[in-house]
Amino acid sequence: MPYFINTIRTPKPGNLPLVAEKVQQSMEQMNIPGLVSVSVSPPGATQNDFKVVGVLPMADADAVEAFHDQVFSNNMSTLKHSARSGISDLCSQENLSISRVVARSENLENGLNPKYINRTFVPVKVGKLNDMIDLLSEWGESIDHPYIYNVSVPMGDIISQVRVTHMVESFSSLESLNEKIFSDTTRMGKLGELIAGSGRRALGRITYRNMS
């Protein structure tokens, strides 16, 4: 089962471009695939600052553990390197999160060069998580649209929750995709039976992507 690790950083005021640049450089120096995005419409925008989010895909559970072994080996030398690189000093907050991918586009590239990444966090009724995953998996494959998607379950935070991620090439493409989703009244009705409350959205602009 594939996973991905998010690096989540909150730049101090004025440091957003530099933090995004340094996160990209870190990925390039480690020669690992991934992407970097910057928040352009986050949840609670009036209460929260910009975020720079890195996404590191992991092939399976062993890859996640190997990543952690690298981070925590030699007295956490990797984290010390991050501090030496200046990223930590530029941020007011840094953290990691792990998510398990339960459904995704069959073709991860799909011939697209996405600019936007839209993440929707959906609270699910207790006992209905598998039903929600089945619905979202079938739904994602059925939509005729140029986009990349995945459905994941965060390994932290509330237990009964899924994250739906859409990547598109333009803002107008995102608008069209949302229209297709919300006009599907049958599936929207099924979704309404499974959710435990209102979801949250986070829209980001992709500043770097290398999945090879």
How many Cα atoms sit within 13 Å of 27 on the Cβ side?
Answer: 25
Show the tokens assigned to 123.
Answer: 């609270």
Report residue 175: phi and psi, to 5°. -60, -45
66 and 110 assigned to the same domain: no
- Among the listed residues 111, 102, 120, the one whose alpha carbon sits nearest the alpha carbon of residue 41: 120
Per-residue pLDDT in tens (0 to 9) along the chain, 212 residues: 799 999 999 999 999 999 999 999 988 887 888 999 999 998 888 778 899 999 999 999 999 999 888 878 877 766 665 544 688 889 999 999 999 999 998 776 668 999 999 999 999 999 999 999 999 999 999 999 999 999 999 998 888 999 999 999 999 999 999 999 999 999 999 999 999 989 999 999 999 999 87
Q: Which residues contact 93 (CB under 8 A, 6 or more apart)?
A: 8, 9, 10
- Domain end (from 65, 98, 131): 98
What is the separation of C-alpha 80 from the centre of its chain, rounded to a whole number of angstroms?
A: 25
Considering its fold, how many domains does the chain have in total? 2
78 and 114 assigned to the same domain: no
State the Cα–Cα distance between residues 55 and 99, nearest whole angstrom: 10
Burial of 52-91, coded b for 16+ CB within 10 Å and e otherwise, reads bbbbbbbeeeeebeebeeeeeeeeeeeeeebeeeebeebb
State the Cα–Cα distance between residues 187 and 135, nearest whole angstrom: 8
Its sign, for the CA torsion 41, 42, 45, 48, is: negative
Q: What's the chain's average pLDDT?
A: 91
Q: Is the pTM of this model over 0.85?
A: yes
Q: What is the DSSP string of 40-61?
A: EE-TTTTT----EEEEEEESSH
Q: What's the CATH code of the domain at 29?
A: 3.30.70.100
Show the tokens assigned to 156.
Answer: 């932290």
- Domain end (from 64, 98, 132): 98
Instruction: Please say whether the beta carbons of 174 and 115 come within 8 A.
Output: no
28 and 58 assigned to the same domain: yes
State the Cα–Cα distance between residues 162 and 41, nearest whole angstrom: 20
93 and 109 assigned to the same domain: no
